[in-house]
Homo-oligomer: A and B are copies of this chain.
Amino acid sequence: MMGKILRVNLTTKQITEEAYPDRLARLFMGGAAAAVKLLYDEVDPRVDSLGPENKLIVSLGFLAGTPAPSASRVAFVAKSPLTGTVGYSNSGGYFPNELRATGVQALIIEGRAEAPVYLWIGDGRAEVRDAKDYWGLNTIDTQFYLQQSLHDGNIRVACIGPAGERLVKYAAIITERRAAGRKGMGTVMGAKNLKAIAVRGAQAVALADEAAFKEATRILHQAMKDSPALYHRFRNFGTAGNVELTVGQGDMPAKNFLEPAGEEYLPIGGQAGIGYRVRHFTCDQCPVLCAQVRAVTSGPYAGYASEGPEFESLYSLGSDMCIADMGACIALDRLCDELGLDTISYGATVAMAMECYERGILSRADVDGLDLKFGNHEAAFALLRKIAFREGVGDLLAEGARAAAERIGGDAPKYAMHVKGLEPPAYDPRGLKSMGLNYMTAFTGADHSRGHSEQEVFGIPVPQAVDRLAIEGKAALTIFNQDVGGAVKDSSMLCTFVARLALLPKNLGPALVADFWRAVQGYDVTPEEVVRVGERLTNVARVWNCRAGFTRADDTLPDRLMKEPLKTGASKGHVISPADRDRMLDEYYSLRGWDARGVPTPERLAALGLEALAADLPPRP
């Protein structure tokens, strides 16, 4: 059974309890999918993302709180202060299952507190409380002192750090040592004066059919065991193992996408990471242990340790700024987590500034006297603190690559890598065409957590084997990844790594989600209906973005990725040209049943049971 929805009004400090709408459950199955629908229904796309009218939806999957492995994940959804699109970020750890144990399935946080507050949710009791004793603390200390002051170390906390308090546009929400980093969901918390959400519960999730649940769990465990990559590669290397893979493929970006990362970046790879590893760690109920706790024991960063860095951060904190030093990456990663910054946006924004500095667009005086050349990790480190506290040039870079480049002016915007304002993750689309189309069309901008192209990156032949460098067939592939992946991961909230490495190779995801749904909720859905949840999510978000003013013109890539072929590596000579882009978009829109502007049609929406959205569509030309 789904848990309840708590509506928290920070302006009035009122909290009301609502039953989970049956129609929302049936059409969106909870998780991020339902959260986006709630955003659609409740937040006008034209509101100020930092104003009281924006809402933060905190949403669990229907498997949260159950013994299903890798399902302790939470979605944070709001209008993104970084992109203006639907914003969605998620994280794992122990907070999600603990929140579910309070009986809550989703939180709708609205309004804005006049002074800093935190939200306390215990068994059967929720309260908006004064947070003056926590405002100003970093994310680790916030968690610690909340637990101490509430006299229970088993309280779980999602919180922001100084960056969120200061409305850095890419502030993260931190749970334990994990981050929901992207799209400024921490910024939304900061704008609402919401320092933290602290939870502690003891309620079990009611299962409709325990035997069926056990069987689905057994199947999932077996698929995880059968995966050649999950326990071996992910446990041993974590996601850092992707460095070796993508360096080999020539599609790990370096130097603000001026070049692909070569072997000079193997010192920040998975193999090198083993030399720094102290231990493994894991999210609640997950046997994979993919998290690598790495510590630095010599040099200027000796004493820093992080639960990471993950692959995306090894690009953004590493190769994208030309930093091939694992110690520096670990320190930057830890500091991002403590101060509450998204590692990807931070690194990509600084990489933009580094290119501007090297090109003379930014002078040394412009960057507070730092020698901001590529590879200067001391400068990157100093900038990180400045950004989090909006000090000096940090105030500019706190706006993200696009907005900062626009303020710098001149040619600077050419060097801001982003789609719809979101800085790209660790995959160069010039060598991964479906990934490129996904960056263009994902409702959140250049996003690796939507429509990740496992087929191109990992060679998984589902729905079929693909040539990563080809344009042909990539529209259908991208839709498959966005919708199937979206359904499996964004409704059930099963971990993307498990979905990717254990479920995708057998295309087992939709069937398993259907099995789990039946076992938990007590009624049947088909695997096809599960996939339709993914399609619904895509369409709902698309219509919201259309209403926000986004058009086909925004479904594009930075000029560099369309006009500057890679000069070295296994993707040498490749771009996604404007013509490639247009061809892929045409095909993508057509296959989705959207018109040539990229606007969903009333017919397609009706077929998805979303006929009510048709009224919100922009007029046909």
Contacts and interface: CB of A to CB of B under 8 A. Distances in A.
A138 B293 contact: no
Interface stretch (A297-305, A446-454, A455-463, A524-532): A297-305
| The 10 residue pairs across chains A and B that have the minimum distance between CB atoms | A153-B153, A133-B279, A153-B154, A136-B278, A302-B385, A302-B389, A136-B295, A303-B339, A303-B385, A298-B391
Interface of A: 94, 132-138, 140-141, 144-145, 147-148, 152-155, 162, 176-177, 278-281, 293, 295, 297-303, 305, 335, 338-339, 382, 385-386, 388-389, 391
A137 B278 CA distance: 7
Contacts of A339: 303
Contact of A141 (B132, B293, B302, B385): B293
Contacts of A293: 137, 141, 145
Contact of A148 (B132, B281, B303): B281
Most buried by B among A155, A302, A339: A302
A158 B64 CA distance: 34
Contacts of A303: 138, 162, 335, 338-339, 385, 388-389
26 contacts: A94-B148, A133-B278, A133-B279, A133-B280, A134-B278, A134-B279, A136-B295, A136-B297, A137-B278, A138-B295, A138-B305, A141-B293, A141-B305, A147-B153, A148-B281, A152-B154, A153-B153, A154-B154, A298-B391, A299-B391, A302-B385, A302-B389, A302-B391, A303-B335, A303-B385, A303-B388
Number of copies: 2
A147 B281 CA distance: 12
A290 to B, nearest CB: 15
Contact of A281 (B94, B140, B145, B300): B145
Nearest to A294: B136
A303 to B, nearest CB: 5
A618 to B, nearest CB: 45
A563 to B, nearest CB: 39
A302 B388 contact: yes
A133 B141 CA distance: 22
Contacts of A298: 389, 391
A343 to B, nearest CB: 15
A248 to B, nearest CB: 30
Contacts of A300: 382, 385
B153 A297 contact: no
Most buried by B among A138, A144, A145, A298: A144
Nearest to A339: B303
Contacts of A162: 297, 302-303
Contacts of A141: 293, 305
Nearest to A132: B279
Contacts of A132: 279
A140 B305 CA distance: 11
Given A133-B280, A162-B303, 13 more contacts: A132-B279, A136-B278, A136-B297, A137-B293, A138-B295, A138-B303, A138-B305, A140-B140, A144-B177, A162-B297, A298-B391, A301-B385, A303-B388
B279 A145 contact: yes
Contacts of A338: 303
Contacts of A145: 279, 281, 293
A264 B278 CA distance: 44
A527 B535 CA distance: 80
